[in-house]
Amino acid sequence: MSHPPLDAVLAYVDRERARFVDDLAAWCRIPSISSSPEHVGEVRRSAEHLVERCRELGADDARLLETPGHPAAFAEWRVDPRLPTALVYGHHDVQPIDPPEQWLSPPFEPTVRDGRLYGRGVVDDKGQVYIHTKAIEAFVKAGAGKPPVNVKLIVEGEEEVGSANLDGILHEHDELLRADYVVVSDTAMFGRGIPSLCVGLRGIAYWDVKIAALALDGHSGSYGGAVPNPATALASMIAKLHDERGHVTVPGFYDRVRALPEDERRAIAALPFDEPAFLASVGAARVVGEHGYSTLERLWTRPTLEVNGLSSGWQGPGSKTIVPATASAKLSARLVPDQDPEEISRLFETHLKRIAPPGVKVEVTFLHGGRPYLAPTELPVYDLAKRAFSRAFGKPTVFIREGGSIPFVRTIADRTGKPCLLMGFGQPDENAHAPNEWLDLENFHLGIKSVIYLYDELRALSGR
């Protein structure tokens, strides 16, 4: 039940709706591309920008958490030690903008068109982090001067590049990150206007693969057909990684994969999945994949092995007749419970070396890994989160899983044993990681209200 203070908080959100978007746009102007060495300073500036905003909102503590890589931002509102503490996680780093020519408005000049904010990072994940800081602002400015529960905010700067320093942060700041609930907003809703609580994420293992056969490029007239060709070798190895039924052929790959329970299978089948719209969102002609599973089952509950990049030899204009000396590829596997990235990595490397044609050298570098997550949905807090989401959006909330990965989620869940609420406000066709990334401004607005209801209900659950 809402009561007068909450009404005032919600009214503030209505009143400040447009200015909240301007504030978000200001943060999104900072090109915090974590993979780019030229943007090191910008990633830091992005973290500092957030810390500064949290200070303005009366955080009791707000600072950078330094790492050997990019800094994270941390802020804390200590309200009352008897109240529960929510640890909110997000990331302030963004993906590169490539290909730049496909953007309809400049990626770092956020632009509103048709109820959407376009720009890099607007939904993945700065807009979703701001949903929380704006909810806090509303409580601070229009409510009791502080949020209704204790809130800790940790906003990482390396999520998009594999969170290599995350374990270090968690280890070093163990005390700082203690909480009763973890809340993460970095996923998408199932469809327009459908509040969706994400209860499963896939894990990941990512590799750089290098094939070497010659000391230098050779003239293809003088050497072609007589010495190993690393491009052909790599192509043939990649082609052998799946069988004709779409299964991954790496021995042992499926050994730890949990079967999908029948009731979850039915729940997934009952969701209103729009396959043509899914295909259209990326311009694909048809679905493909592992036989015996529906598209959503493949995306959410089955592991994959994908080529992320492939290169060898001459790629410039015109032709150049050579046998290239080397070939390389980026590959990654999406993992499901109970697969383990390190174990999968060992199996993958062994297999790749076994199927390499004679005369080529294979080098596999494991770049990063993250484990899959399944939420303990039997806990009452999941019903509470559904209710908060539904109160804002005026529709029943569905449980979904996602095929993407957020390594922090499993790591913090294992470390603390606390439930993680994946309350995402994106849309499936939001162009994350692609040109023309966008945030639905209605979701931004109602997302802020969802979080207000969530914090309020978490306090009610504690009986204070």
What does the alpha-carbon distance between residue 384 and residue 212 come to, in Å, rounded to a whole number? 55
At residue 329, the 3 state secondary structure works out as strand
What does the alpha-carbon distance between residue 165 and residue 408 come to, in Å, rounded to a whole number? 11
The amino acid occupying position 197 is L
Q: What's the token pair of residue 251?
A: 């021995």
Contact call for residue 162 and ligand BES (CB under 6 A): yes
Span from 79-87, 186-194, 268-276, 376-384 in contact with ligand BES (CB under 6 A): 186-194
Span from 45-53, 185-193, 270-278, 286-294 in contact with ligand BES (CB under 6 A): 185-193
Q: Judged by CB, which is closer to ligand BES: 147, or 424? A: 424
Which positions from 104 through 133 interact with ligand BES, judged by CB under 6 A?
124-125
CB 203 within 8 A of CB 410: yes
Q: Judged by CB, which is closer to ligand BES: 67, or 405? A: 405
The amino acid occupying position 254 is Y
In the list 204, 268, 327, 329, the residue contacting ligand BES (rule: CB under 6 A) is 204
Span from 158-166, 171-179, 239-247, 307-315 in contact with ligand BES (CB under 6 A): 158-166
Contact call for residue 431 and ligand BES (CB under 6 A): no
Q: Judged by CB, which is closer to Zn ion: 304, or 431? A: 431
- Is 93 one of the catalytic residues? yes
Q: Is 252 left (phi over 0), alpha (psi -120 to 50) or beta?
A: left
What does the alpha-carbon distance between residue 454 and residue 392 come to, in Å, rounded to a whole number? 10
Distances (CA, A) of 455 to 71, 135, 409: 27, 9, 19
CB 324 within 8 A of CB 231: yes
In the list 381, 406, 441, 452, the residue contacting ligand BES (rule: CB under 6 A) is 406
Write down the H helix ranges in 143-219.
166-172
- Is 402 one of the catalytic residues? no
Span from 72-80, 124-132, 391-399, 442-450 in contact with Zn ion (CB under 5 A): 124-132
**Alpha-carbon torsion (321, 326, 327, 330), positive or negative:** negative
Contact call for residue 402 and Zn ion (CB under 5 A): no
In the list 124, 137, 402, 437, the residue contacting Zn ion (rule: CB under 5 A) is 124
> Which one of ligand BES, Zn ion, none interacts with residue 370, CB within 5 to 8 A by kind?
ligand BES
What does the alpha-carbon distance between residue 120 and residue 107 come to, in Å, rounded to a whole number? 5
User: Count of residues binding ligand BES (CB under 6 A)?
Assistant: 16
The amino acid occupying position 300 is W
Spot the catalytic one: 93, 402, 456, 457. Answer: 93
What does the alpha-carbon distance between residue 165 and residue 393 come to, in Å, rounded to a whole number? 36
Q: Judged by CB, which is closer to ligand BES: 235, or 434? A: 434
> Which one of Zn ion, ligand BES, none interacts with residue 93, CB within 5 to 8 A by kind?
none
Q: Which residues bind Zn ion (CB under 5 A)?
A: 124
Q: Which residues bind ligand BES (CB under 6 A)?
A: 124-125, 159-160, 162, 186-188, 204, 370, 402-407
